[in-house]
Chains A and B, each alone.
Chain A
């Protein structure tokens, strides 16, 4: 019985689990109010990322392209950035923040985006937009380095670094870096903090990604984290970055630069990790954990008791996606007596073997478990089809849907993107509410499968 961490041993990718860095930077940029990211590269780098977002959220988000064409690829494309910034500022009067997100093409041709930002600040912004608050933030996210995960991490750090400004007194708040989550996760996290009467600056406040059709006006989905929020991150009483790989860079920056103490992790998935999160909040804020959360936790434990040892115990699970999400889910599954036998992390981050959570899994699990880095979906499918891997459940995002469909394995859609089920973004995975939803959704998915396959479906008669 052991847990092994290994890298995929093929060089290529058959059905990728992750996309590249610029997508992560774009996901971060849509969380900021009055912000439109300008992606410096070919148009597809934006068009398809926006399409994936619109598939996941069933909403459209504003993201622009510098539209690098053939001539620019040969002669340099910085003039396209200059024109792009100007066009955006002219046409979007409320626009204040423009992250300039690089891609593989513009990094390979060596466009000096930092230089052009200086040039624009000294020229265009002074001359044409004097008196208007405009922030241009270079974000370097070549697609051949890291993945969407590091892209998100790099972007959050660049954004925080640009804005964070120390003032004389503390703002009395906690910086909460959520990592790559859904609107419902933000709602749950805010509700936990509100119960503890803790004020937080949420990076990024994306609850409004779930936006309405209203009787009049246009209600475009966008984040609500403001420039003032971002500036005051330097004056917080502390930072909690929930995800080690999505936001920790910024948390460490604030600690090193402004002595804002940082706690990294754990991803509050499941009861145990949520307890730890609340303990961290308590430690940082000095606030007590109220009875209302004891009760909320109790409701979650009650829900778990209904399904865990009767239905979930012993179920073999494969989990893929964002590393913090995957590890958090694996930990929770183990608490639910399940066996997460295969974890697939879609990038080659060299620090995974130093992750204390992975170390703990290696030392602690009582079943055969594999953690594959730089993984693609073939790592999953090949094991099922050709290597005898038996699974009861798959947890992950929609891009892996055919592995589940073609092999008749039930699957709970989680993470990003989820486009083959309605309203995925409406369910939290973090906090006590997330624990309830996860346990019940996994159970219900297994129930449907039992009925579909006539596999002891009569058990549910008297449950």
Chain B
């Protein structure tokens, strides 16, 4: 019996099949929890709603777009400023959020007229912005407002303005995942194919399922540009609305977060014949393999290998400094959807971390399939975890840290388990080679925090050590370390800047990249304005 029976959930038998212990020699046929089923009310689950999955996770990272939620003000307010998806043009998407502010009379008499006023007001307040995403909410979906018709009307009256309507009310699915699905397909249906981009490289990709958390997209963009690859659009982090209208013109879809964005990839394959390539930007080997795969696809393996060699030389000694000190550290890897499988094996093989548990709030069975297969035997896998199960698991497994979201992190803190934020990151970006070193650094700082080492001491009962005025992280981490490692002149601590992104943006400004001409194959620079804002022509 591979299922894991939580004591706290004995009274709700249907929870049993949502947690498994991965046994030795067990395969996935006997160790796969159920996933993406309706939430049991009152469990204090950690799931969000389909509105947030659409608007908050996927819609809002689009830059230079007015993000308007059609509903009462709370949906907008509550999801605003709780993420760290930056953009390279001033963070409008972080700073501004719009609500139609539906009131009781609108619920009774309909809210379409006021929605139209809202749209016009918003465009007038920000005349430099020409794109808008409108998101339905529970209230306006239930009263049956025809948002699409209102949007059409405004677009006719205000030429040049383009509005995407996302119908994904909060109740539309068991979790945020329902919203991911909806926004993927609705954006594709409404806007993909309406733009003709300028192609300036022989190698053209879409970068899908990447949200530029603390600059992840910009780290990866640097690698792609160094390979001479044109990124037609990123869905959606740091992505432009106009570029996203051109998704149909890429040679390859490079898919990062398959949980949230495989739908659009699969449809682009069906409708436009664009192949889907799943990649992993987390971890040295994973990133290297991903660049190699893309290199093979285009026949530019040498370019990929060159980048991998440069990046390994620059960053590997720093990763290894931390890996030497983090061997055997026990971690609960409790992210939202896909990071369990992006990270579990890389944490083990590259940093030496023992992932003792994985969970997913909104993942499907496929995520568990990948996640469980990449864990070591003994790992506890939980689908749609709830507060009491999380506590029980932490008491039982005694992890050295958990990697999870802000709020569950506060739960862990109270039982003396430190946490790292895997949604917004502590000090990201975490993608790519440099990012992975930053993650290792953050794990190290978390696990060997000298202040944290004091939490177990009960000054009323225990003998109080009085011999030290301070302790350093290394006094804690290097206790059992060999002299060879301690005195190594090769290994070194993380030298990445507090914010590495300005360096990458400066590099872009200096236009140091070259791309092969699509016709002649000649490698040459491309005008900077095209890199920053590619020309897109409207097509019918």
Contact = CB atoms under 8 A, between A and B. Distances in A.
B45 interface: yes
A399 interface: yes
A461 interface: no
A84 B104 CA distance: 28
Nearest to A142: B104
Nearest to B460: A215
Contact size class for B? Answer: 35 or more
Contact of A48 (B48, B100, B114): B48
B72 interface: yes
B41 A19 contact: no
B441 to A, nearest CB: 22
A358 interface: no
Contacts of B408: 60
A50 interface: yes
Contacts, number: 243
Nearest to A10: B121
A328 B512 CA distance: 57
B138 A104 contact: yes
A109 B102 contact: no
Contact of A220 (B8, B43, B72, B414): B414
A445 interface: no
Contacts of A58: 410
A42 B49 contact: yes
A44 B51 contact: yes
Interface centre among A43, A49, A62, A216 (most CB of B within 10 A): A43
Q: Which of the listed residues B49, B82, B411 has the most CB atoms from chain A within 10 Å of its own CB?
A: B49
Contacts of B143: 108
A398 B315 CA distance: 37
B122 interface: yes
B175 interface: yes
A103 to B, nearest CB: 7
A44 B82 contact: no
B74 interface: yes
Interface string A1-34: 0000000001111111011111100000000000
B52 A48 contact: yes
Contacts of A147: 73
A218 B408 CA distance: 14
Interface residues of A, number: 77
B42 A85 contact: yes
Interface in A115-170: 142-145, 147-148
B45 A44 contact: no
A84 B95 CA distance: 36
B475 interface: no
Interface string B429-461: 000000000000000000000000001111000
Contacts of B539: none
B72 A43 contact: no
Interface stretch (B165-173, B187-195, B222-230, B513-521): B165-173
Contacts of A398: 81
Nearest to B68: A12
A189 to B, nearest CB: 26
B39 A44 contact: no
Interface in A28-68: 36, 38, 41-45, 47-52, 54-55, 58-60, 62-68
A11 B98 CA distance: 11
A91 B39 contact: no
Contact of A145 (B48, B103, B171): B103
B349 interface: no
B121 A12 contact: yes
B77 A50 contact: no
Interface stretch (A69-77, A262-270, A314-322): A69-77
B142 interface: yes
Contacts of A11: 100-101, 114, 117-118, 121
B77 A19 contact: yes
Contact of B171 (A13, A16, A47, A105): A105
Nearest to A105: B138
A367 interface: no
B82 A48 contact: yes
A460 interface: no
Contacts of B184: none
A337 interface: no
Contacts of B117: 11-12
B89 to A, nearest CB: 14
Contacts of A145: 103-104
Given A69-B171, A399-B80, A60 B101 contact: no
Contacts of B45: 43, 65, 67
A72 to B, nearest CB: 7
B465 to A, nearest CB: 14
Contacts of A22: 74
Contact of A51 (B97, B100, B406): B406
B142 A13 contact: no
Given A11-B118, A211-B414, A220-B414, A69 B407 contact: no
Given A48-B48, A85-B42, A69 B174 contact: yes
Contacts of B172: 69-70
Contacts of B100: 11-13
Contact of A91 (B11, B80, B95): B11
Nearest to A417: B81
Given A14-B125, A60-B407, A215-B458, A109 B142 contact: yes
A62 to B, nearest CB: 6
A357 B377 CA distance: 67
A102 B475 CA distance: 53
A41 B46 contact: no
Q: Nearest 5 CB-CB pairs, A to B?
A: A20-B74, A42-B170, A44-B49, A84-B42, A84-B41
Given A12-B68, A108-B139, A145-B104, 14 more contacts: A14-B96, A44-B51, A45-B74, A60-B408, A60-B410, A62-B387, A66-B41, A87-B12, A91-B42, A105-B139, A109-B142, A147-B73, A213-B413, A215-B416
Interface of B: 8-9, 11-12, 38-52, 68, 71-82, 95-104, 106-107, 114, 117-118, 121-122, 125, 137-139, 142-143, 169-175, 387-388, 391, 406-408, 410-411, 413-416, 455-458, 462
